[in-house]
Amino acid sequence: MALISALFEIMQGPTIWGVFTELLMFLGPMWIAVLVGVVVGWTWKPKWANWGRDKLDSFVSRTSSPSSSLPRLTLPPSLGFGSVPSLNTLKEQLGSCISSKADDGPDKETLNSDSGPSEFEREKSVLVAREDFEQLSQLVEVKDGGPSWIHMMDRSTPNMSYQAWRRDPKSGPPQYRSRTVFEDATPELVRDFFWDDEFRSKWDDMLIYSATLEECPTTGTMLVHWVRKFPFFCSDREYTIGRRIWESGRSYYCVTKGVPCSSITRRNKPRRVDLYYSSWCIRAVESKKGDGQLTACEVLLFHHEDMGIPWEIAKLGVRQGMWGAVKKIEPGLRAYQEVRASGLPLSRCAFMAQINTKINSDYLRSLESTSDSSEIKIEDSNEKPLGRNIPKLLVIGGAVVLACSLDRGLLTKAVIFGVARRFAKIGRRL
């Protein structure tokens, strides 16, 4: 009632200017108090204020994953503070001013020690989630319910053996499964070897650029940027990869897959590969020496990607170049063993490879028991090799599509048509 009476007395002023002046003097302190409260609340927000937002972010991340059937939720850039630099600057300045005083309070360390993973760590763990581990474990046990695997290759060297399979799903690119066994190697060393991008460039001549964009020190999740060199008739390919490792005993489940990344601008060259999956299980196995010791290391790899070229042409190229690429891994691993034995400090990527998420063995067994089995089909040895039973029309048609989609000059196109004609003649003679 007192507020209403005061406003009534102001409105009875003799002049409009006097009424306006009295209103400003009356309401001015209230508006200043409101603005101060908004600014302080914006810059110095308690941790509990983010709980509802964390759940919303987690829900949005799940719905935006490729495996989800729910629509993806996106916010326009105009709604974010990142689009207003002046607000960002003001927030940083006010936040640093207020936090410098709050640091002297007695509860700061208590809050940091009692609180769970930070919002940043939770966001990074969503890039590669538990569902990805479950999918890999089912692939390892051949219980993912997918098509049968067809045997492609069986090769070996004195210290390495290699087997490969392929299958063609109803939709999507061809999928590959391989089993490599390295003699005299530990799972931990092989895990670090495949994770170490700095050393990979010394033995993998297809990797021409790598950089770590983000990392989570709690889960070991990493977001990396790769550029890989493809054969002479294709442009280079670009990848933004999320990766994470789960550990069960001395078995390591390493998941790497393509994830969206807005901080890397999409360009025409190198061409971005969105669909990418390359994950493996690393574990100790018995040596072929027959002494019963677990001194060898088995690597089960599952790989598929949409490289942007016809799948039949891609299958032919993979089959022809597979063993040549695999042979380079074993010398690289032995060189890595020597580097690690010399005591040189770990690279950042190798250090991150040692941050793993622990998995209970009972939980792992429960996944194996509830999955559907998928047969490994062995290809008949009398079957004609792949490439000789490709129809002539398919070979020539694929060559036309490939040549017309490339911009590498007449010489490259001539080579492509020459190879296509040669394969077509082979198929006609058979």
Q: Is the CB of residue 257 less than 8 Å from the CB of residue 250?
A: no
DSSP tag of 262: T
264 token code pair = 């890397």
CA distance 223 to 203: 22
The reported pLDDT for the residue numbered 307 is 87
pLDDT digits (tens, 9 = 90+) for 166-198: 999 988 899 999 999 999 999 999 999 999 999
Whether omega for the bond prior to residue 270 falls within 30 degrees of 0, making it cis, is yes
- Kind and range of the H or E run holding 155: strand 149-157
Domain 131-377: homologous superfamily in CATH: START domain (3.30.530.20)
3-state secondary structure 164-198: EEEECCCCCCCEEEEEEEECCCCHHHHHHHHHCHH
Structure token pair of residue 251: 């078995």
Residue 133 and residue 398: Cα distance in Å, rounded?
36
Cα–Cα distance for residue pair 226/197, rounded to 1 Å: 9
Residue 374 CA to residue 145 CA, distance in Å, equals 5
Looking up tokens 């022809």 gives 320
- Identify the DSSP state of 376: E
d(CA 167, CA 72): 30
pLDDT tens for residues 346-404? 999 999 999 999 998 888 777 776 655 555 655 543 444 444 444 554 555 555 445 44
Query: Hey, is 275 helix, strand or coil?
Result: coil
Strands 207-215 and 276-285, sheet pairing: unpaired
The token pair at 253 is: 């489940």
pLDDT of residue 382: 40
Q: How far is CA 35 from CA 38, 39, 79, 100, 308, in A?
A: 5, 6, 20, 21, 54
379, 150 Cβ separation under 8 angstroms: yes
376-377/175-182 β-pairing: unpaired
Low-confidence stretches of the chain (pLDDT < 70) are: 1-14, 16-20, 23, 26-27, 31, 34, 36-126, 232-233, 369-430
Distances (CA, A) of 87 to 40, 267, 311: 14, 30, 49
Angle ∠(253,256,258) on CA atoms, nearest 5: 155
Pairwise CA distance, residues 412 & 132, whole Å = 40
Q: Please give the C-alpha separations between residue 14 and each of 240, 360, 416, in angstroms, as whole numbers.
A: 71, 82, 94
Query: Token pair for residue 87?
Result: 């607000």
Task: Give domain limits for the chain.
Answer: 2-105+115-127, 131-377, 392-429
How crowded is residue 257: how many other Cβ atoms within 10 Å of its Cβ?
Answer: 21
